Chain A
Amino acid sequence: MSGLDQIFVWIGHRAAGWFPASVQPLVSAVLAIAGVMAVFGTCFALTTLAERKVLGRMQNRFGPNRVGPYGLLQPLADAVKMLTKEDIVPFSADKTLHFLAPLVLTVPVWLAFAVLPFGRNMSAINLDAGILFFFAVGSASELAVFMAGWSSQNKYSLVGAMRAIAQMISYEVPLVLSVVPVLMLAGSLELNDIVAAQGTYTFGGLARWNVFTPWGLAGLILFLIAATAESNRSPFDLPEGESEIIAGFLTEYSGFKYALFFLGEYLGLFAVTGLAVTLFLGGWHAPFQWLEWVPSWFWFAAKFGALIFLFIWVRATLPRLRLDQLLNFSWRFLVPLSLINLLVAAAWYWTGAWKFPVVAPIRWLLCAALIALPYHWLGRALRGAMPPPRKYIYAE
């Protein structure tokens, strides 16, 4: 492989080589942590800017363009503002919990990055149960959100926290269930194995990513919807719904603690986006065989960026859901559909043994129909389950 592909691995090895052998594992671990924190910290700053710019353009506005050329220094200005703001703790707040909540949100989210493979030989640790670890640390954010809402002693904070808990527990189920088919087909919980399973090519050089299979496509869409809800992003931003409950569980936070919540939310989004890339979009593999010469970390970054753009795009398009719509959508639509997706994955597995001419398109269409028809029926049932439009007696 080319030197550029392994340049970060090489730099890490060289830097660790300067230290005595006894501390080398520690040094390389610290270097990996520093690298991940630097890259995704910068990514956070850039995403806040990109989000505002893209949202602006999608609403026919300019977006921030005052600080620096094209507004590029806006994250810096935001950081200065956040850090210099007064840190207010409400008089009746539970001071300890109020202080701990942003930390409890941010710290576990960083841990989730430990198992993601960012390129060839570029995952911080190779855990046997990497996915399990990822979801275990990821679910700590529920606790942090409820800590924030409860400790603030504010009705809006509490309402926001209750909404957040209802939403996050409901969407954790489809999030995990949509991942299961990938684990079934790859036969491993380790993310590097899952990437390796998608590393072969077919049909004259097209990659064998999971997203090109019916269950993979459905799984990716289910996963992205659930991930949007998990990271409290629009259209599932009920916990923070500004127009309804001020800022939800963030109401009583200001200054650096508020910034930490923001950081935690964006990092959570990055982590699930990285997982989506790894599980469904072939990780760091190139889409075509003749593009293999491009460094692997570039492919990861490109897919990652594309998914982040998709999240921003969705945010610019969809309005916020109501709470009953949100919960109905999860329990009556996403959960059954992700269970059915398991069956589709099983069907895909068993039809893999079929041997006759033009088997590939037939197999694909058969499995696609297995997920498309339930999609259609469940969607109609969901629409029937919704309460009828409210009638206003006095307003009309």
Chain B
Amino acid sequence: MNGFGIIKGMIETARNFVGSYHDAQRLTTVQYPEQKLPPVENARTIPFLVFDGDDAMAGLRCTACVICEKECPPQCIYIVKDQVKKPDYVGKMQMQPKVFDIDISVCMSCGICVEVCPFDAIKMDQVFELSTGDRFGKLLLDKHQLAKPNDYFVKIHKTEASEIDVRREEDKRKAEAAAAAKAAAPKSPATPGAAK
């Protein structure tokens, strides 16, 4: 009969009204500042710079190759190369950034910088409480603010980070083996320079 659909609908809303007071299943709202959902592993917000060891600036993986700066679609990355080189994880001398700034008000969180980085130096972070009253000062992050330890990276992106760690261990072992072989080399006349 006419009008019964309305009554049916009103019973449904009444059931919600009463049910939301005693049935926790219905109220799915997460009360944000007090309650927080655990972050999803694939979540990404802005980039950060990974460093190894304890000293952030000494262990920074970035080699100032500026590929990310060139690839960044909104051009939010600004890099100045340093004149002084420093050894990387396999002991090879590499460039390092003197300035590495990211304007996170410009960053669009695309992750292209992460995809193009050949050194696993820049990765996506999961921080999201970045609002600030200082629009120009607090939203331009320098390399000290961007640098975060590898442990943090392992914590937020476990799968990806452990894969990279295994690969880097492998590289390190190879490099050490090569160095050991090189150290043993002068006794054998293998190299052309030594033959002369």
Contact = CB atoms under 8 A, between A and B. Distances in A.
Interface of A: 54, 57-62, 313-314, 316-318, 375-376, 379-380, 383
A330 B43 CA distance: 53
A57 B1 contact: no
B13 A62 contact: no
Contacts of A59: 16
A338 to B, nearest CB: 16
Interface string B23-44: 0001111010000000000000
Contact of B3 (A57, A314, A379): A379
B179 to A, nearest CB: 61
Contact of A58 (B2, B16, B27): B16
Contacts of A380: 2
Given A379-B2, A379-B3, A380-B2, A61 B9 contact: no
A140 B145 CA distance: 63
A60 B20 contact: yes
Interface string B84-122: 000000000000000000000000000000000000000
Contacts of A313: 10, 13-14, 17
Contact of B29 (A62, A317, A376, A383): A62
Contact of A57 (B6, B21, B28): B21
Contacts of B31: 62
B55 interface: no
Contacts of B9: 317-318
A313 B16 CA distance: 11
A58 B13 CA distance: 5
A62 B2 CA distance: 33
Nearest to B9: A317
Contact of B10 (A57, A62, A314, A375): A314
B34 to A, nearest CB: 11
22 contacts: A57-B16, A57-B17, A57-B21, A58-B13, A58-B16, A58-B20, A60-B16, A60-B19, A60-B20, A60-B26, A60-B27, A61-B27, A62-B27, A62-B31, A313-B13, A316-B17, A317-B6, A317-B12, A318-B6, A375-B2, A376-B1, A383-B2
B175 to A, nearest CB: 57
Given A62-B29, A317-B12, 7 more contacts: A61-B20, A313-B10, A313-B14, A314-B10, A317-B6, A317-B10, A379-B3
Contacts of B6: 317-318
B1 A58 contact: no
A380 B10 CA distance: 22
Contacts of B17: 54, 57-58, 313, 316
Interface residues of B, number: 19
Interface of B: 1-3, 6, 9-10, 12-14, 16-17, 19-21, 26-29, 31
A318 B7 CA distance: 10
B94 to A, nearest CB: 51
A23 to B, nearest CB: 50
B2 A376 contact: yes
A60 B10 contact: no
Contact of A316 (B13, B19, B28): B13
A302 B21 CA distance: 23
Contacts of B2: 375-376, 379-380, 383
A317 B6 CA distance: 8
B28 A60 contact: yes
Contacts of B29: 61-62
Q: Which of B16, B19, B21, B27 has the most CB of A within 10 A?
A: B16
Contacts of A317: 6, 9-10, 12-13
A305 B13 CA distance: 18
A161 B159 CA distance: 59
Contacts of A375: 2
A72 B97 CA distance: 54
B49 to A, nearest CB: 37
Nearest to B11: A317
Contacts of B27: 60-62
B84 to A, nearest CB: 52
A311 to B, nearest CB: 12
Contacts of A383: 2
Contacts of B28: 60
A316 B15 CA distance: 12
A375 B21 CA distance: 37
A376 B27 CA distance: 39
A57 B20 contact: yes
Contacts of A314: 10
A313 B3 CA distance: 16
B141 to A, nearest CB: 30
Contacts of B19: 60
B28 to A, nearest CB: 7
Contacts of B20: 57-58, 60-61
A58 B11 CA distance: 10
Contacts of B14: 58, 313
